[in-house]
Amino acid sequence: MTAPVLDYDEVIERFDPVLGLEVHVELNTNTKMFCGCPTAFGAEPNTQVCPVCLGLPGSLPVLNGKGVESAIRIGLALGCDIAEWCRFARKNYFYPDMPKNFQTSQYDEPIAYNGVLNLELADGSVVEVGIERAHMEEDTGKSLHVGGATGRIHGAAHSLLDYNRAGVPLIEIVTKPITGTGARAPEVARAYVTALRDLLRALDVSDVRMDQGSLRCDANVSLMPRGTTEFGTRTETKNVNSLRSVERAVRYEMTRQAALLTDGGTVLQETRHFDEGTGTTSAGRRKETSEDYRYFPEPDLVPIAPSGEWVDKLRATLPEMPWQRRKRIQEEWQLSDLELRDLVNAGAVELVASTVDAGAAPAEARAWWVNYLAQEANSRGVELGELPITPAQVARVAALVSGGSLTNKLAREVVDGVLAGEGEPDEVVAARGLAVVSDDSALHAAIDEALAAQPDVADKIRGGKVQAAGAIVGAVMKATKGKADAKRVRELILERCT
Amino acid sequence: MSGSELNRGTAAELAARIHAGEVSSVEVTQAHLDRIDAIDATVHAFLHVDAEGALAAAREVDEDVAAGRPVASPLAGVPLALKDVFATRGIPTTVGSKILEGWVPPYDATVTRKLREAGVVILGKTNMDEFAMGSSTENSAYGVTHNPWDLDRIPGGSGGGSSASLAAFEAPLAIGTDTGGSIRQPAAVTGTVGVKPTYGGVSRYGLVAFSSSLDQGGPCARTVLDAALLHEVIGGYDPMDSTSIDGPVPPVVEAARQGASGDLTGVRIGVVREFTGEWYQDGVLGAFRQAVETLRGLGAEIVEVSCPHFDYALPAYYLIAPSECSSNLARFDAMRYGLRVGDDGNASAEQVMALTREAGFGEEVKRRIMIGTYALSSGYYDAYYGQAQKVRTLITNDFTKAFADVDVLVSPTTPTTAFRIGERVDDPVAMYRADLCTIPANLAGTPALSVPAGLSEQDGLPVGLQVMAPALQEQRMYRVAAAFEVARDAAQGGPLINRVPQLEVAR
């Protein structure tokens, strides 16, 4: 294995990267693609199975109409053509977590094809990504390899199989080759997955949780010497489980391949495995000759021919698209272009919007997500949306502040408590005893103590130097451990001293 | 009524007596269980007999009758032999293969469920060529079934267990599946009736798949009316099978009763010119010609029609069926059910899969998996699978053209009478030719049946008359077959089946 020897600028000087991104989306239908089993994530292994999704002899698939509906809506949102007639096919290969040893998928007749997705990068520039196709298929089960060092099949003592996921509806969305992005290829890759995730979330067709595998990205990367137009040999990197990893994996592959090619070596067409810990990729399945899946039309299912009326009806159900939403939000919240971009770059648009929907003022909602929570996400190395706090919870904290029950400082403690898994904001307030001390008699005692401790300051106030009250306020806040409302304390001090 | 009389009764007669309270279903069932007990060591039609389940089902029917409640169906209480290709909850299902030895399905096939709901008494599971691949039942992993007409001969296949059980009077009704002729050819060589319905007419849910686009379950019986009664029990739309037809079952019982009047005036019958030649025995062609004359005598108008692409049906079938089977049989991998070989704690999953499939599949099954795998491979797909699909369309067009001119088509069911056990085991293509006349209807998805035509003058063995109809027009072929049956019995002095030799009772 050749270690990267070029720095990134050198890579870009010599090569043009070509990207191809394949995203698998698990649909959030209640039932599986071809049977009535539930699809909930995280159930006890092998409890959401039946003869059909276990592939028992004699069982037959029946298509989930809701899955087709979601596929068409995704296709429409991506500006795709919707096939007037298409079929499923069988992709034949042996693997223990695939009950039938073929995957029911679509091959040369996808339900949606030829679309486009526009991405806005951090600096506001727009990249147009062509969509080759979006097709329907079923997910496989999961293998758990036990006894090896890596958790991968190599070296494992035995494997356990969980078929709960087998047959969960998947949509695979494949881009056309993305060229001309140069040094920004990793950023484009990340922006693409981000934009797609936001789109799918707006459509409400998937949980789009990369950490739970309901959104999975395989990144195909190849390099061609600058000034040439023939694509190089590509690798396909799998196990890319976060937006950050998408960017890192693409960047690493570019650097690795550039080093190989510069050394006079060749890139092998292969599947590679991304390691989150090291940020590197390692060789997986070799694809010297492309695997022969012996596709043929699935004889157990009938062709799908969505009527024009149905497609039109689904088109009418499309929600506001994320880019339309952004534009509207900018106007409604009166944001400058820069403010909007900050919001977008922080990945906070939908979170802030949801927080506003839950009752918070736009400025406060924005402040929470873009400032305090963004820092928290950054220090944890996770996406903003992956923080264990919901927009509704943030809105509740904001309401407690505006209602005078919390100071800003206390509010941050409450948020910390929610992030630490201590429950809802009100539960954190109660458990940590964070409510503002609004009992005037308790405050009077503290004020009297502070005035007595600083008689000179007390005299100044009595003499009309109102601004001197700040020192007493500070002392009271300290004495109450910040649980008092400073404004109220000031009022009470002034009352006391007149 | 004696036990042997109960064994020889038709399903319609038995049902009438049971429902009238003249005889109990338990008695009828017990008579058949006794018969199986006495002769199945000789015939070997059954792989599994479920005496307890059968008697329990029979008692339920008897209780209904005793209480004066309406019976569940016109066939309630009548025993039946079920081909071992249908999943039966709690009863082993092997598909004639070692690879499923010991598998007890946790669910019922739709056909099984409909039979149970109709009060039909399932006696047990019948022998078959492994995964329904064969024309003699010699490919069963559990031993060959013997033809009751001549125990040295094959009972047809793949459904030889079902056909033999009828000819041996072990059951008055049976269920088969027909992918290339597996209902009709066994019926022909055992002198019984076998029907392949329109593709999609009987649910495939729970039918262990051989070739999904061709497989079709159907009724087997000793008379046309019995087959029709059973057809109406098992037919109809099933939401669990996407290829099932969402429409009413054709009125086949009515057609069988109408046909029994013996008048075919106004019916145009086409004789397919292509179904003759070097592979056909003179005795078969002779019996067929005589059958055609009988039909003419009933008032039918006989015309000769040509279906030129039928000559390509066999090669097209032997690409499509193996291709689908290579994919359908991939699931038998030792991971979840059935046989597991080589799992010594060191072998990888892939090694266990390979060892299990090597040990669990028979030679013919492996041959077809290999052919199918090859035919679907990239670079060969268009030349083989793709081309075969085009032939399939041409054959369908031949049928469409023919049925524009005639009501039904007729032919011999199979080119020869029952051949000797062992005769063709080393010559797969000779074995495949048994289905020369039956395969076109599978490729086109159209219905066809086999009704006994008579005995071959060459060897005294049964010859089948195949009647083919357009899709969803089953009533036409039932009417013709029922009319023919009456005329044949009249001309030949009673039902053909009565001439089955008395089987020696094994002791």
A332 Cβ contact partners less than 8 Å away, ≥ 6 residues apart: A362
Nearest CA of chain B to the CA of A301: how many Å?
Answer: 6
B51 Cβ contact partners less than 8 Å away, ≥ 6 residues apart: B33, B123
Quote ipTM for the complex. Answer: 0.96
Q: Which of A55, A161, A292 sits opposite B377 (nearest CB)?
A: A292
Q: Which of A55, A57, A61 sits opposite B87 (nearest CB)?
A: A57
What SS3 state is found at B479?
helix
Q: In this predicted structure, which of A156-160, B419-423, B446-450 has the lowest mean pLDDT?
A: A156-160
Per-residue pLDDT, averaged over A400-426, amounts to: 89
Structure confidence at residue B44 (pLDDT) = 98
DSSP H/E element including B305: strand B301-305
In eight-state DSSP terms, residue B420 is B
Q: Are B416 and B435 in contact (CB under 8 A)?
A: no
Name the residue among B181, B147, B196, B144 with its Cα closest to residue B167: B147
Q: Are A171 and A196 in contact (CB under 8 A)?
A: no
Q: CA B122, CA B53: separation in Å to the nearest integer?
A: 8
Structure confidence at residue A484 (pLDDT) = 79
Q: What is the pLDDT of residues B340-368, one digit of tens each?
A: 999 998 898 899 999 999 999 999 999 99
Q: CA A128, CA A178: separation in Å to the nearest integer?
A: 9
Does the beta carbon of B323 lie under 8 angstroms from any beta carbon of chain A? yes
Structure confidence at residue A439 (pLDDT) = 72
In our burial notation (b when 16+ CB lie closer than 10 A, e otherwise), range B34-64 reads bbbebbbeebbbbbbbbbebbbebbbbbbeb
Phi, psi of A85 (to 5 degrees): -155, 125
Nearest CA of chain A to the CA of B202: how many Å?
Answer: 14
Structure tokens at B357: 């499939």
Q: Which of A55, A61, A94 sits opposite B242 (nearest CB)?
A: A61
Per-residue pLDDT, averaged over B264-268, amounts to: 97
Structure confidence at residue A4 (pLDDT) = 53
Q: Are A199 and A78 in contact (CB under 8 A)?
A: yes
The beta strands (E) that lie in B93-242 are given as 121-126, 173-177, 193-196, 217-221
Residue with tokens 């990068």: A121
Structure confidence at residue A200 (pLDDT) = 96
pLDDT of residue B3 exceeding 90, the answer is no
pLDDT of residue A298 exceeding 80, the answer is yes
Structure confidence at residue A442 (pLDDT) = 78
Q: CA B100, CA B62: separation in Å to the nearest integer?
A: 35
> Sign of the CA dihedral B228, B229, B230, B231?
positive
Q: CA A426, CA A418: separation in Å to the nearest integer?
A: 10
Q: Which residues of B touch A102 (CB under 8 A)?
A: 327, 330
Residue with tokens 């359908």: B328
What type of residue is B431? M
Q: CA B279, CA A399: separation in Å to the nearest integer?
A: 90
Nearest CA of chain B to the CA of A222: how many Å?
Answer: 25
Q: pLDDT band for position B107 (50/70/90)?
A: very high
Structure confidence at residue B77 (pLDDT) = 98
Name the residue among A55, A492, A15 with its Cα closest to residue A253: A15
Q: How many CB pairs under 8 A join A and B?
A: 100
Does the beta carbon of B507 lie under 8 angstroms from any beta carbon of chain A? no
Q: CA B208, CA B206: separation in Å to the nearest integer?
A: 6
pTM of the model: 0.88
Q: CA A54, CA A98: separation in Å to the nearest integer?
A: 9
Structure tokens at B342: 């080589």
Name the residue among A401, A405, A433 with its Cα closest to residue A417: A433
Q: pLDDT band for position B507 (50/70/90)?
A: very low
Name the residue among B164, B115, B184 with its Cα closest to residue B447: B184
What type of residue is B442? N
Does the beta carbon of B390 lie under 8 angstroms from any beta carbon of chain A? no
Structure tokens at A421: 């898994």
Q: In this predicted structure, which of A369-383, A463-477, B32-46 has the lowest mean pLDDT?
A: A463-477
Q: pLDDT band for position A287 (50/70/90)?
A: low
What SS3 state is found at B304?
strand
Per-residue pLDDT, averaged over A235-263, amounts to: 94
Q: pLDDT band for position A152 (50/70/90)?
A: low
CA A298 to chain centre: 34
Averaged pLDDT of chain A = 91
In eight-state DSSP terms, residue B383 is I
Q: Which residues of A touch B245 (CB under 8 A)?
A: none
Per-residue pLDDT, averaged over A188-208, amounts to: 94
pLDDT of residue B466 exceeding 90, the answer is yes
Q: Which residues of A touch B385 (CB under 8 A)?
A: 296
Does the beta carbon of B207 lie under 8 angstroms from any beta carbon of chain A? yes
Q: In chain B, which among 285-314 make CB contacts under 8 A with chain A?
A: none
Q: In this predicted structure, which of A297-301, A468-472, B29-33 has the lowest mean pLDDT?
A: A468-472
User: Rg of the Cα trace of chain B?
Assistant: 21
Does the beta carbon of A100 lie under 8 angstroms from any beta carbon of chain B? yes
Structure confidence at residue A420 (pLDDT) = 92
Structure confidence at residue B352 (pLDDT) = 95
Q: Which residues of B touch A46 (CB under 8 A)?
A: none
Please state at what angle helix A185-203 crosses helix A65-77, rounded to 10 degrees.
130
Q: What is the pLDDT of residues A27-55, one digit of tens each?
A: 999 999 999 999 998 899 999 999 999 99
Residue with tokens 């669910």: B107
What SS3 state is found at B408?
strand
Per-residue pLDDT, averaged over A448-452, amounts to: 86
B390 Cβ contact partners less than 8 Å away, ≥ 6 residues apart: none
Q: Which of B242, B335, B337 sits opposite A96 (nearest CB)?
A: B335
In eight-state DSSP terms, residue B308 is G
Q: In this predicted structure, which of A382-396, B215-229, B472-486 has the lowest mean pLDDT?
A: A382-396
- What angle is formed at CA A227 by the lines to CA A225 and CA A233, rounded to 5 degrees? 35
Written in H, E and C, the secondary structure of chain A is CCCCCCCHHHHHHHEEEEEEEEEEEECCCCECCCCCCECCCCCCCCCCCCCCCCCCCCCCCCCCHHHHHHHHHHHHHCCCEECCCECCEEEECCCCCCCCCEEEECCCCCCEEEEEEEEECCCCCEEEEEEEEEEEEECCCEEEEECCCCCCCCCCCEEEEECCCCCCEEEEEEECCECCCHHHHHHHHHHHHHHHHHHHHHHCCCCCCHHHCCEEEEEEEEEEECCCCCCCCCEEEEEECCHHHHHHHHHHHHHHHHHHHHCCCCCCCEEEEEECCCCEEEEEEECCCCCCCCCEECCCCCCECCCHHHHHHHHHCCCCCHHHHHHHHHHHHCCCHHHHHHHHHCCCHHHHHHHHHCCCCHHHHHHHHHHHHHHHHHHHCCCHHHCCCCHHHHHHHHHHHHCCCCCHHHHHHHHHHHHCCCCCHHHHHHHHCCCCECCHHHHHHHHHHHHHHCHHHHHHHHCCCHHHHHHHHHHHHHHCCCCECHHHHHHHHHHHCC
Half-sphere exposure of A156 (CA within 13 A, CB side): 14
pLDDT of residue A286 exceeding 80, the answer is no
Q: In chain B, which among 60-119 make CB contacts under 8 A with chain A?
A: 86-87, 93, 95, 100, 103, 105-107, 109
Half-sphere exposure of A200 (CA within 13 A, CB side): 28
**% of chain B with per-residue pLDDT over 70:** 99
**% of chain A with per-residue pLDDT over 90:** 62
> Sign of the CA dihedral B422, B424, B425, B431?
negative
Name the residue among B507, B497, B448 with its Cα closest to residue B147: B497
Chain A's closest residue to B131, CA to CA, is A57
CB contact under 8 A, B107 and A101: no
Cβ neighbourhood burial of B89 (10 Å; 0-12, 13-18, 19+): middle
Active site residues of B: 83, 158, 182
